[in-house]
A and B are shown apart, each in its own frame.
Chain A
Amino acid sequence: MLRSALAVILALFLAAPDLAVHAQQTASAPAILSVRRHGEPSVEFDRAALARLPQRAILTSTPWTEGTISFEGPLLRDVLRQAGSRGTTITAIAINEYKVSLPFSDAESFDVIVALKRDGQYMPVRDKGPLWIVYPLDQVAELRTPGTHAKMIWQLKAMLVE
């Protein structure tokens, strides 16, 4: 609290609002995603860090929802790049420890996003949030398979790259 107050004061005095906001967020917000390359320390992302990455929206339907939904969030490949992780397989882990494997190439081949928002709203855990890996199902016909459905993990909390 003291640190954030100091930061606000510092920001006012230095007239560097961007830096101040960033500092405030990094200081208080909890990490919601941890990306780790096997054998290396993990890179933590809070919501703001993910929101700072270029945002992409996917308009698609899913087998678990009604109608077309607008998902919004950074591209999976941007997240991985930001984390400096490269490999062949991504093991995505949900809050309930559910695990699924994604080929690393999916992130390059398709505009897969790590959705932060559903129809413009951040997703709470009870609505499959805070993060949901979304494939552009309605845009790419070849993705409309049970295999892809299985990879669209929600309540994502961590990714292990191998």
Chain B
Amino acid sequence: MRRYLGHIAAAVVLVAFLAAGAYSFVRMTAQFGLFMDHFRTGNWIATQANVEYLRLTETISSYQADPSAEARSDMLTRLDLFWSRLPLVLEGEEGKKIRSLPGAAASIQAIIADLPQLERRLQALSGRDLAAYRDAMAHADSYRAPLRDLLQALLAHDGETISSTAIDRQRGELFVAFGFVGLAGAALFILLSRSLRSAQQAYDKARSAEANALLAREQLEDAIESIGEGFVLYDKDERLIIANSPYKSFYPTIADMVQPGARLEDILRTSATRCQYQGVADPQAWTRERLEQHRNPKGSLIQHLVDGRILRVSDRRTRSGGIVSVRADITDLVRAEELLTKRLAAIEAAPDGIAIVDPSGALQYVNRSLATLYGEKPEAMVGRAWPRLFALADQTLVPRKVAEAIAANRPWRSGALGRRADGTTFPMEVGLSAAGDGGLVLALRNVEHEMALKQQHARLEHQFHQAQKMEAIGRLAGGIAHDFNNILAAICGYASFLAEDLAPGTPQAGFAANISTAAGHAKKLVQQILAFSRSQDIERLPVDPKLALKETAEILRPTLPPTTRVVVRDSLHPCMVWANPTQISQVLMNLCVNANDALDGRAGQIVLALEGPIAPPDRFGASTRGTQEAFTEVAVERVGGGSKTHATAGGPPRHSRYVLLTVADDGSGMPPGVMERMFDPFFTTKKVGKGTGLGLAAVHGIVLSHGGLIEAESGQGEGTTFHIYLPVYEADSAEAPLEALHGQPRGKERVLVVDDQEMVGTMLATNLERLGYDVTLCASSEDALEAINEAPFAWDLLLSDIRMPGVGGIELARSARAVHPNMPIVLCSGYSDMEAESKARDLDVTIVPKPVDRALLARALREALGAREAASKAA
């Protein structure tokens, strides 16, 4: 209570002071307001009126003394001014107080009423009339008393209302009172505060220190308690000082022991014996070891608790010699690390390339597969900008697309071209998705091999379909054509008889001639069919392409319209081709007819060019010499970025030198769809009756059967160019049987030749006879079988065609073997007899491709006979 005495006293003094101050202020304000109110608004008007009155009288006097116009004007102005002051008493707020005085308004009104008279007197004044001046002054004087009385009345009224002396007196009293109270208060305040301050300071200091210590301890305990880690503190005698609840929760088996004062060794031993930890075999030894670690702390150690939790224990020595020990539960961390390690191993082992891209776009991690794919070490690739994994063209495109995809919150997947440091590229499938941190996860796979397989598969499939189609059409057309030829021969023959017998000029002779002409056309058609179906009975001989071109151009020119210009360019180095001259002519004619049709009546030109000899272009594939069948596939591709399409047929090339025959027009050209099918028999774009769809099919068949290659380039409206590559006839090649006959292996064995086609059979027989063999020819399998059955050992070798009506070559071979198991058999196979060939191989027979090459045949016969001899010797 004593402490607050000073404060209370000070407060009392202050309140008294303020009260006194407030009182005096209110009092003063009230007085001043009253004073101002009354003084301002009344007395001034009265004073003004008095003043102006006095000035007026002065000017009257002045005028009397100096009767000038100026003085007169001044006088009259003064009258006006005086006059103007009087109405102020009678109207308005400011004159209100005067009006309230009894009689005031009446006296002013009386003056105003009198003023016109005074005005007349003053206006009448002139220089000499002194009496008039006296009268005027006397008149003016009559206002003096009322005006003065008014002023006096006002001042008397003010005196009643306010007494300025009283105000001054009160103010003095107030100042004295303020001074006294203020001084007393100040003195009291100083005295009390000085005596109390020292005692208070000492007391506060002690209290504050105590509170701070308490607070600090509470805060420390709170802090220790609130941390997630287990915390325990031992003093230098290894007795527990404090342990927080996480610590106790880590060791539930010894929760009862964890109390201040407990010995460390006891706690350790009990926890070991109560199976608190995993893998403690000997609790005593463990306790000793742990105690040792505790006493000599060396950083941290890992503890595996029996409940599966994993703790990181960190012991530290305190300055006072105690030990502070912290335990962190790192179970989740360890598990996560394990999982991460496994995942990393999985990523490392993945066959696909995987990379992590940091937010700046640099590769942060690259797995082994990716590095291997790029032919580099993973660490060398880290830090590289990820778009550099792509081919140059994709390096700007891909990041943009990826950004778009990621902005749309989806991963980006696509095929792209990868680029290695050495500049090589490879196709790949890539997936990019956003990583949480603004980076990317990238996975890619090299699909080079897959794509190659896919392409090969597609190519084989296409080839197979094409082969099947050609086989079917070839079989049909070839079969019909032969019979049809015979019929045509008869028609032509009889037509010529008629033409001979009928009198020339008669309609009947004309009819016969027409029959001959029509039959001639039919014959040509049959020839075309035979050409594309690649019948075997075509005789070939060395042909000079220059001559063939010249002849064809000569035949062609008259048949073409005059608007079509034929240009012949011949830069061929003299050489020959092994060919059928009629067929070569047929090829040229067909191409030229098409070229002319492409011009469609417009003026244009057809270029016939001959070049070479040249090596086959690379686009036909690797050059392989051998017996491989020519490709019948038509490969179509767009040339560059332009509108032209490019097609090839035939190949891979089997010869090193070719004559290049070009037929080019500047006609309408072909769309890609037409180019794909242009070699198909019966496919035509011409009007019904104008084209047979056999022209290019025949070209294809003839060129390929000659071992040649075809190349076509066309674009709609850009004309068409056909390049025909025909192999150069090399004098020493296997394709020169006449000259090379002497070099062929010969024999004297008996050979049974079977072929349903008489011409082919005869040709084969003649060939073998020339080689020295004893040949018997059968026109059918049935005949041959009968012969074999009659005398199985009369023949040393059977040579047969595979495709024959009735019993085929395979069937014949099988039957022959049944009678004569060791009989050597050679079968001739057409290009489309793949199925038959595979059957034939099972029978262990030799296959010779058609058209039959004489040298090959000679060797095949010798090989077959030799094998037989070897077999019989071995037996």
Taking Cβ atoms with an 8 Å cutoff, the residues of A that contact B are 62-66, 95-96, 124-128, 146, 154-155
Instruction: Evaluate contact between B55 and A96: CB separation under 8 angstroms.
Output: yes
Q: Specify which of B77, B80, B92 is in contact with A65 (CB 8 Å cutoff).
A: B92
- Asked whether any CB of chain A lies closer than 8 Å to the CB of B94, the reply is yes
Instruction: Given the known inter-chain contacts A125-B77, A125-B84, A128-B84, please indicate yes or no for A63 contacting B93, CB distance below 8 A.
Output: yes
Q: Does B88 contact A (CB under 8 A)?
A: yes
Q: Within the complex, which residue of B52, B80, B83, B91 is in contact with A66, where a contact is CB–CB below 8 Å?
A: B91
* CB of B824 within 8 Å of the partner chain: no
Contact check, B81 vs A95: say whether CB atoms are below 8 A apart.
Answer: yes
Known: A64-B88, A146-B40. A96 touches B95 (CB 8 A): no
Q: In the complex the two chains form, is B92's CB within 8 Å of A126's CB?
A: no
State which of A63, A65, A125, A146 has its C-beta within 8 Å of the C-beta of B81. A125
- Contacts known (A96-B52, A96-B55, A146-B40); A64 close to B94, Cβ less than 8 A: yes
Per-residue CB proximity of B56-80 to A under 8 Å, as 1/0? 0000000000000000000001001
Interface CB pairs A-B, < 8 A, 5: A64-B91, A65-B92, A66-B91, A96-B52, A128-B84
B77 touches A62 (CB 8 A): no
Within 8 A of A (CB), among B69-128: 77, 80-81, 83-84, 87-88, 91-95
Q: Report the Cα distance A127→B88, complex, angstroms.
A: 10
Contact with A along B566-605 (1 / 0, CB 8 A): 0000000000000000000000000000000000000000
**13 additional contacts (CB under 8 A) given A64-B95, A65-B91, A125-B83:** A63-B93, A63-B94, A64-B94, A66-B92, A125-B77, A125-B80, A125-B84, A126-B83, A126-B84, A128-B84, A154-B84, A155-B81, A155-B84
- In whole angstroms, what is the CA distance A64 to B81 when docked? 15
In the complex, the answer to whether B92 meets A63 with C-beta atoms within 8 Å is: yes
Whether the Cβ atoms of A95 and B40 lie closer than 8 Å is: no
Given contacts A95-B81, A146-B40, A155-B81, contact A64 B92 (CB under 8 A): yes
B80 near A62 with CB under 8 A, answer no
Alpha-carbon distance between A64 and B40 when the two chains are bound, in angstroms: 13
**Secondary structure class of chain B's binding surface, majority of residues:** helix
Q: How far is the CB of A157 from chain B (nearest CB, A)?
A: 10
- Chain B residues with CB under 8 A of A124: 80
The closest CB in chain A to the CB of B79 belongs to A126
Distance in Å from the Cβ of B626 to the closest Cβ of chain A? 115
Interfacial chain A residues near B84, Cβ < 8 Å: 125-128, 154-155
A residues within 8 A CB of B41? Answer: 63
Closest to B55 in A: A96
What is the CA–CA distance of A66 and B40 in the complex, to the nearest angstrom?
19
B47 nearest CB across to chain A (Å): 12
Q: How far is the CA of A112 from the CA of B92 in the complex (A)?
A: 21
Chain B contacts of A127 at CB under 8 A?
84, 87
Residue of A nearest to B78 (CB): A96
Considering the chains assembled together, what is the distance between the CA atoms of A155 and B80 in angstroms? 10
- Are A126 and B80 in contact (CB-based, < 8 A)? yes
Q: Considering the chains assembled together, what is the distance between the CA atoms of A150 and B556 in angstroms? A: 130
Query: Do A95 and B92 form a contact, CB below 8 Å, given A127-B84, A146-B40, A155-B84?
Result: no
Contact assessment for B94 and A96 in the assembled complex, using a CB-CB cutoff below 8 Å = no
Chain A residue with Cβ nearest B52: A96
Report how far A63 CA is from B77 CA in the complex, Å.
24
Q: A-B pairs with the 5 shortest C-beta distances?
A: A125-B80, A126-B83, A64-B92, A63-B93, A66-B91
The distance from the CB of B639 to the nearest CB of chain A, in whole angstroms, is: 88
The answer to whether B81 touches A62, judged by C-beta atoms less than 8 angstroms apart, is no
Do B77 and A95 touch across chains, with their CB atoms under 8 A apart?
yes
- Measured between C-beta atoms, what is the minimum distance from A126 to chain B in Å? 4
Instruction: Pick from B81, B87, B88: contact of A96, CB below 8 A.
Output: B81
Residues of B within 8 A of A155 (CB): 81, 84
A64 to B99, CA, bound (A): 13
A128 and B87 CA atoms in complex are apart in Å by: 10
Specify which chain B residues have a CB less than 8 angstroms from the CB of A126 in the assembled complex: 80-81, 83-84
For B94, list chain A residues within 8 Å (CB): 63-64
Complex-state Cα separation, A63 to B41, whole angstroms: 9
List chain A residues, Cβ under 8 A from B87. 127
Residues of chain B within 8 A of A128, CB atoms compared: 84
A64 cross-chain contacts in B, Cβ below 8 A: 88, 91-95
Q: What does the 1/0 interface line of B378-411 toward A look like (CB < 8 Å)?
A: 0000000000000000000000000000000000
List, in ascending order, chain A residues with CB within 8 A of B88's CB. Answer: 64
Instruction: Report the separation of the CA atoms of residues A63 and B45 in the bound assembly, to the nearest whole angstrom.
Output: 12
Residues on A with C-beta less than 8 A from B83 are: 125-126
Residues of B within 8 A of A96 (CB): 52, 55, 81
Whether A62 contacts B40 by the Cβ 8 Å rule is no
B57 CB, min distance to chain A CBs, angstroms: 15
Bound CA–CA A125/B75 (angstroms): 13
Q: How far is the CB of A92 from chain B (nearest CB, A)?
A: 16
Q: How far is the CA of A162 from the CA of B472 in the complex (A)?
A: 125
CA distance A64 to B92 in the complex (A): 4
B354: shortest Cβ distance to chain A, in Å?
A: 80
Instruction: Report the bound CA distance from A63 to B80 in whole Å.
Output: 21
CA distance A159 to B41 in the complex (A): 26
Task: Give the one of A62, A66, A126, A146 with max B CB within 10 A.
Answer: A126
- Hey, which chain A residues are within 8 Å of B91, CB to CB? 64-66
A63 — which chain B residues lie within 8 A by C-beta? 41, 92-94
- Which chain A residues border B93 with CB–CB below 8 Å? 63-64
Which residue in chain A gives the minimum CB-CB distance to B81?
A96
Contacts of A62 in B (CB 8 A): 92
CB of B54 to closest CB in A, whole Å: 12
The residue in A95, A96, A124, A127 that gathers the most chain B C-beta atoms within 10 A of its C-beta is A96
Q: CA of A96 to CA of B93 in the docked complex: distance in angstroms?
A: 23
Contacts of B77 in A (CB 8 A): 95, 125
Q: Which residues of A contact B80 (CB under 8 A)?
A: 124-126
Q: Name the interface residues of B22-48: CB closer than 8 Å to any CB of A.
A: 40-41
Chain A residues positioned under 8 Å from B81 (CB to CB): 95-96, 125-126, 155
Interface centre among B52, B55, B91 (most CB of A within 10 A): B91
A124 CA to B52 CA, complexed, in Å: 17
Chain B residues, CB < 8 A from A154: 84
Question: What's the minimum C-beta distance from B90 to chain A, rounded to whole angstroms?
Answer: 9
Q: Closest CB of chain A to B46's CB: distance in Å?
A: 14
How far does the alpha carbon of A65 sit from the alpha carbon of B114 in the complex, in Å? Answer: 22
- Measured CA separation A154–B84 after assembly (Å): 10
Bound CA span A63–B81, Å: 19
Report how far A146 CA is from B84 CA in the complex, Å.
Answer: 21
Q: When chains A and B are docked, how far (Å) is the Cα of A127 from the Cα of B556?
A: 135
Mark interface residues in B12-30 (1 if CB within 8 Å of A CB, else 0): 0000000000000000000
A65 to B96, CA, bound (A): 11
Q: C-beta contact mask, B245-274 vs A, less than 8 Å → 1, else 0?
A: 000000000000000000000000000000
Nearest B residue (CB) for A62: B92
**In whole angstroms, what is the CA distance A125 to B52 when docked?**
13
How far does the Cβ of B634 sit from chain A's closest Cβ, in whole Å? Answer: 100
Nearest CB in chain A to that of B41: its residue: A63
- Quick one: which of A64, A127, A128, A146 has the most chain B CB within 10 A? A64
Interface string of B322-333 (1 = CB under 8 A from A): 000000000000
Tell me, in angstroms, the Cα distance from A64 to B88 when the chains sit together.
Answer: 6
Q: Find chain B residues with CB under 8 A from A95 CB.
A: 77, 81
Min CB–CB distance A5 → chain B (angstroms): 24
Q: How far is the CA of A146 from the CA of B95 in the complex (A)?
A: 15
Smallest distance from the beta carbon of B71 to chain A beta carbons, Å?
16
Residue with the highest number of chain A CB atoms closer than 10 Å, among B55, B83, B93: B93
B193 to chain A: closest CB distance in Å?
A: 47
Q: With the chains together, A49 CA to B92 CA distance in Å?
A: 31
CA distance A128 to B88 in the complex (A): 10
- Closest chain A residue to B76 by CB distance? A125
In the assembled complex, the CB of A100 is this many whole angstroms from the nearest CB of chain B, namely: 13
* B108, chain A: closest CB distance, angstroms: 14
A5 to B615, CA, bound (A): 129
Give Cα A127 to B91, complex, Å.
Answer: 12
Q: Beta-carbon contacts of B618-660 to A below 8 Å, as 1s and 0s?
A: 0000000000000000000000000000000000000000000
Annotate B226-260 by CB proximity to A: 1 below 8 A, 0 otherwise: 00000000000000000000000000000000000
